[in-house]
A and B are shown apart, each in its own frame.
Chain A
Amino acid sequence: MLPPHRESRWAVETHGLTKRFGANTAVNGVELLVPRGSAFGYLGPNGAGKTTLIRLLLGLTRADAGTMSLLGYPVPRHRDAALARTGAIVDEPRFHGHLTGRQNLRLLAAAREPAARDRVGPVLERAGLAHRADDRVSTYSMGMRQRLGIAACLLGDPQLLILDEPMNGLDPAGIAEIRGMILSLVAEGRTVMLSSHLLDEVERTCDAVAIVDRGSIIRQGPISELLAGMPVALVVECSEPGRARALLAGTALGASIQATPTALGLEITLPGGTGRHVIAEISRILAAGEISVYRLQPVKTSLESWFLQVTSRLEDPE
C-alpha cells in the first residue's frame, strides 16, 4: 500500500540538493520549485547539471546532500510512491532493440501497477506509434524512440512527467506534435518538467523556467515575470534615420533610450518596464519633425537572448 499522499502545491521541490563527482560539483545546493499543473522548463548550457538533477529526482543516482520531494512525497524515502505517478525520459531513450515497441512497453508495464498493462495500446496510439508498435525497436528512427520514450512515460498515468530533451532527433513536424502533446498533458492537469536546449520551444511550451549553470539555479520563475524587466527593442523604419536620431536625442527621452542606426532606419533600445506611452511619444516626435515613418515595431526580448545574457558562460568562454 502506498503511503498517504501529501498535498503540496509543488510537483517538484528540492532544497540544498547537491551531487558531487569527485572534485566536480554537478549539482550545487539546488533550490527548485516546480508548480503543479504547469509546463516547467529546465534550461542550462551543456554540462550545467540538468540531467544529473533529473537523475537525482528519479533515484537513478544518490544525492550527497539536500532534500527533495516529488508530488509531495519525500524522495528517496517514498520513492516508490512518488514514481508510481511519475513518468520520465532521461537522456536518449534506449530500449531493447530486439523487442518491438509494444513488447518493450509490456516489459515496463509489468513493473508498474496492474492497470498499466491495459494502457499499452492507448499510449502507443497517443504517441503516434500504433502503426509501428509491432516492429522491432532496432528499426526505429531516433524520433520514433523519443515517441516510444514518451509512451513509456504515460504508462503509469502520471501526474508528473520529467522529459529530458524530448525533442532531440525530431523533425519540425515531430517537434510540433510533441509540443502539442505536452500542452495537452498540461491541459489534463499534469505537470511537465522539460529540460531542453531548444529555447524557442521552451518559450512556446512552458509557463515557467529555471536556468541552471554550473550546477546552481541562477534564475527561476514564470517566463513573463523573468522577461518583464528586460529591455525592449523598437525597430523604426523611417526616411531620415540620422535626423530622427538627432531629434530623439534632443528630447527628454534622449537620456533613457539608446538609438542605433540600421540600414533601414533606427533600432531604439528602451529600458525594461517601459510603457506603451513612450512608443507613442517617439512616434509623435518623429511625426512632428516631418520624418516619414514606415514601420514602428517593438520587439520583446526572447527567452533565448535573455538566457544568453544571464548565463555566465556567455562571459566566460571556459
Chain B
Amino acid sequence: MTTVPAAGASTPGQPVQAAPARHSRDRRSSPIPTIGMIATRIMELRRRRGLMIAVVIVNIGLPALFLLIRLLLHAFAPRTNPPAGGQLIFLVLAAGFLPTFGFITAIMVGCTAGSRDLTEGMFRHLVVTGRSRLALYLARIPAGLAIVVPLLAIGYTIVCAVSVLAAPTFIDDSNVNIPPGLSRAGFENWAASHAEPVICSLPYNGHIPGNAACAGPPRWSKSAITPAQPAPANLEALAVKIASQDYRGYISTLRRPPISLMIKAGLWIELQVTVEFVLGLGLASLMGQRTGPVILLIVLQFILTPILSALVIPHLQDLQRSVVGLAMAHLEPSGLPVASALPGVTGGVGGPGAAQSLPESATQAVCVIIAWLAGWTILGAWRTMTRDA
C-alpha cells in the first residue's frame, strides 16, 4: 500500500478545507439523476452476463434462429417449406412471441435493477455519497430501458425485415400464382380474369355449377406466369364471389405486413416492455428482492389477467378494467388480434378475447397504464427513500 494522496486531496500536514469551490457544481440533493449516474447504472446492468445473455437470446436469438431455420428450409426445399416471412409469421412473432417473452425479460431486468443494490450491499455505499435517494431510484429507469428497449427493437426489426423481404408471393399448394399485396377490389379483379384456376383451386363454401369442371392437373406452376383465361361471365362472377369469400385468408397468408401495422405493433410492444420494466423495478424496490416480484408479476400477467379478462363480474367491471394487462390488450393495434385467434398464440398479455369481453376506451386504457406506471414508480421511490440502508 502506498501513501499517494488522492487526486485533489490535501497534502499531509495541511488541514482539509471545508466545502471548496468545486462543490458548487454539486447538486446531489437534486432528485434528477445525472448522465453519469445513468451511464454507470447501464454499465452495472450490462455487466450482468447471465441476465444479458438471457435477454439477448430471448429478444433476438430465438426469433432470429426461428426465421433463419425457415429461410434455410425454404431455400433448400421450396416446394415443401413455405417462405420464411409474410404477415402470418409476423403476427405469430409480433403478437405472440415477442410480447410474451419480452415481458419476462423486461420484468427480470426491472426486478434486478430494483433489488440488486440492496441485496449486494451497494445501496449503503450509494446512500453514503449524500446523493438524493430519489435520484438513485430514478437513475435506474432510463438505465434499464436503455437495455430492454433497444434489444427488443433489434429483435423486432429482424422479424419485420424477414416478414417483408421473405413474404410469399404465391400459393404453392394449389399452384395458383396470386400476386401479393392486393386490395379486396384488386383481388376480385384478378380472380375475374383468372376464373378457372380460382374456381378449381381456391376454397369455396358454396355451390359450383357443372360447367366449371376442373379436369386434369392444373396447368399452372409457380414458375410460369398464369395466362388470363377467357371465361363466361357467370364463371367470372363466381370467381369474384370466391375471391371475396377468401380475401381474409389471402391477406393472412400472402400479404406482407403493412408498414403502418409494423410501426404500431412495434410501438405497442415497446410500450408493453416499458410498462413491465417499470412495474418490476417498483415492486422489487418495494420488496427489496428479485425472485418474489418476478413470480408475482408472472402470476399477475399470465394467470390473473387472463382470468379477469375472461370473466365479466357484474359489480367489479371497473376493477377488472384497471388491470394493466387488460388495458394493454385494449391498446393492441387493430391488425394484431388476428394473431390472437391463431392456435397457440396468446396475443398479448391480455389473452385472446380480452378486449372484447370488457369494453374500454383507449383513453381509459391509457389512464390505467399511466396510473400503474406512476403508482409503482411512487411506491418504489418511496421505499427507496425511506428504507434503512
A190 within 8 A of B: yes
Contacts of A158 in B (CB 8 A): 16
Give the distance in Å from the alpha carbon of A92 to the alpha carbon of B34 in the complex: 28
Indicate if the CB atoms of B122 and A189 lie closer than 8 Å: no
Interface string of B1-37 (1 = CB under 8 A from A): 1111111111111111011001111111100001011
Among listed B40-48, B198-206, B239-247, B362-370, interface-contacting one: B40-48
Q: Answer yes or no: B222 CB below 8 A from chain A CBs.
A: no
Mark out the residues of chain A between 155 and 172 whose CB falls within 8 Å of any chain B CB in the assembled complex. 155-159
By a CB distance below 8 angstroms, the chain A residues around B389 are 55, 60-61
* Complex alpha-carbon distance, A117 and B7, angstroms: 10
Kindly state the interface size class of chain B when it binds its partner: 35 or more
Closest chain A residue to B386 by CB distance?
Answer: A62
CB-based contact A184/B3 at 8 Å? yes
Segment of A78-86, A203-211, A288-296, A299-307 in the binding face: A78-86
Q: Are A112 and B131 in contact (CB under 8 A)?
A: yes
A82 to B127 Cα, complex, angstroms: 12
B34 to chain A: closest CB distance in Å?
Answer: 7
Instruction: Give how many A residues have a beta carbon under 8 Å from the other chain's beta carbons.
Output: 73
Q: Would you call A114 and B25 a contact (CB within 8 A)?
A: yes
Shortest distance in angstroms between A78's beta carbon and chain B's nearest beta carbon?
A: 9
Given known A-B contacts A84-B28, A180-B3, A58 and B127 have beta carbons under 8 A apart: yes
Q: Chain B at the A interface: mostly helix, strand, loop or mixed? A: loop
Interface bits B106-138 vs A (CB < 8 Å: 1, else 0): 000000000010001110111111111000100
Given contacts A113-B28, A180-B1, A188-B10, whether A107 and B18 have CB atoms under 8 Å apart is no
Question: Is B39 in contact with chain A by the CB < 8 A criterion?
Answer: yes
| Nearest A residue (CB) for B1 | A128
Residue of B nearest to A78 (CB): B29
Within 8 A of A (CB), among B301-358: none
Listed A/B pairs (14) with beta-carbon separation below 8 Å: A2-B23, A60-B127, A72-B18, A80-B29, A88-B128, A107-B44, A107-B122, A115-B22, A118-B7, A122-B5, A123-B6, A125-B4, A126-B5, A188-B11
B residues near A, CB below 8 A?
1-16, 18-19, 22-29, 34, 36-37, 39-41, 43-44, 47-49, 116, 120-122, 124-132, 136, 388-389
Which A residues have a C-beta under 8 Å from some C-beta of B?
1-2, 4-5, 7, 37, 55, 58-62, 71-72, 79-88, 90-99, 103-104, 106-115, 117-119, 121-123, 125-128, 147, 152, 154-159, 177-178, 180-181, 184, 187-190
